[in-house]
Chains A and B, each alone.
Chain A
Amino acid sequence: MNQPANVLAATSCRDTPILKERGQREVFCGLTGIIWLHRKMQDAFFLVVGSRTCAHLLQSAAGVMIFAEPRFGTAILEETDLAGLADANEELDREVGRLLSRRPDIKQLFLVGSCPSEVIKLDLARAAQRLTKLHAPHVRVLNYSGSGIETTFTQGEDACLASMVPVLPGTEDRELLLVGALPDVVEDQAVSLLGKMGIGPIRVLPAPRSAQAPGVGPNTVFACLQPFLGDTAAALERRGARMIEAPFPFGEEGTTLWLRAIANEFGVDDATFEAVTAAPRARARTAIANASEHLRGKTVFFMPDSQLEIPLARFLTRECGMEAIEIGQPFIHKGLVGPDLDLIPAGPTISEGQDVDRQLDRVRAARPDLTVCGLGLANPLEAEGLTTKWAIELVFTPVHFYDQAGDLAGLFSRPLRRRALLKLEAAE
């Protein structure tokens, strides 16, 4: 009953030719991930080595300023740093020294590369090694790139997690590793559901504190919680771990298939699976049915943004009765989103990359009922009479697993309900 035997569409989006575009991209760079990563890793500090633009981006993307001692900052390169790299390294060591002496609670420091640091070829990998030696054993210094020339938006989390994999302790134990930085409330739900099926031990990357870092080895199996963790998955495989492929746990169906794939790996029988999931599945179905009332029969257009587009399109089309016109993603990694693509019947345009003006021409021609896009585009499209959902909320809000499935549908239906609700003209 619970096996995903008949769910594959006759012809699915897996085989749809991908429209590849390049041009202006209306997408954040990978630095943005720091906003949620620093909340998740409570003893980590993220030091961007970049420009005033990087600092301004973080401040603007955060939307609100997190004044309660943010554990991130930008070492802003100045004219003199550009003149000689030797000096830039010295300056960096000095700033890091100052930072760590002021914040003794910091155990992991990420040096985050930016566009300018990469263009001037400031070697942050070497700097991280040098600084690790300097501040060992108290602080481990790692580095990754969050630059716009290398990463888009959520890819920053991938780069960050991938940088942690080589330094994870080794283990021979058979363990399940969940990969991805989710809000605690959903992470706990996942661990609880799997635990009730008798699966364990369960570890999570990233751990809230560096001392709790999971081990990895040939008997580790892992499941990604987010569809943008390709480099992290590859790094884990290099350490001998094996990935469990599944659609991503959005909605009732996605969550069930994701849990089922893990349950199969651990030999959980149907009865146990059913006993654990029946109640939350029923709740999820009810919640989705209520929240998706305004979504049924409506069309949706995804501009590329968070990399969640394909799994979310699967949820909206299969569980909320929407019709997808175009599903755009910054890049498409079929090794990760293949199972989701399999479930979406052929029909929508699948696009990768972006030429924003041309894509907006397609939006205007199609006039979708709902356009999922970034913050820079939402109000302009609303002003043209289109209804939008800002993609960034999908990254900041708990939306995974059964008990958030209704909330997830609600995020999409609220703009439509609001449009239907407002009566701003004369009554006549």
Chain B
Amino acid sequence: MDLTILWFGIIAFLFIGYFVLDGFDFGVGMSLPFLGKDDTDRRVIINTIGPIWDLNETWLIVAGASLFAAFPEWYATLFSGFYLALLVILLSLILRGVSFEYRHQRPEAAWKRRFDAMIVIGSAVPALLWGVAFGNIVRGVPLDEGFNYTGSFFDLLNPYALLAGVTTLLLFFTHGTLFVSLKTDGDLQQRARRLATRSGILTIVVAASFLLWTTLAYGTFWSAVLSAVAAVTLIVAVLANARGREGWAFGAMAATVAFAVLSLFLSLFPDVMPASNDPANSLTIANASSSAYTLQVMTWVALVSLPLILAYQGWTYWVFRKRVTRAHIEGAEAAH
């Protein structure tokens, strides 16, 4: 088997892992002002992802490093080309990450409000910009013969990419509220469920138009099939949520994110970054990849590590499987 194809698959897998996992973290963060009626509520919401947001974010680090190792040209073109967009994503992720840690360090309401706001912004901005970035990759960007991006930051803000951004924003928002509904109980859970239904319907409309645009303009047979599957699982997620089956709803939503991202990767293949100005300048899995030897080494590393990673991360989710309740949070507070 051609290892460049395998590594295209592994990169897709790592980004799918990142978007499925950190995607609901973003949604949980964005849901704070909608669902958190008081400080205990907000703490319950934050603690649904407390033990796991960090390992979810690690998927981005690993996806980035694997991209560097397996497709250095892709990594270099993407990261230097989308410089300001990635800067904003980085700053948002920094603010979000430290806010989880800092908000509970002091009791004053003003202190907590400040970090709550940073969690919301630090979640919404990457949720939007990752969609914009991937929309532009699929749409194609102007590249010179050295594969350097020749456009500007504002060229990235075209209608298709912006629609992609709004789609990921809404997908992650719904994904996150479904997660809150899965991980909490009582009144908060009911409110999360109702919110997920409302945002879910909006998500269906926006995501359907985005997937349709993608299929018509850039799609292949298989990307179209997967878009259709993603649309079905999204509807399943909203219906399951309406019936109070939060486990099914969350699972179907995770599948939706996974199929949608996979559909984007398949519409790219065998390009990795199509050049919009001249197809000869496109980066493909062949001209962007590392040497056969490096890919062989990395394949062994991935074959050994990925099953282990899935096992110990799965176990972590199992350890923290219980719902987070108000009593749980208040009890812990009393202990300090």
A and B, one complex? no
Binding site for B on A (CB under 8 A): none
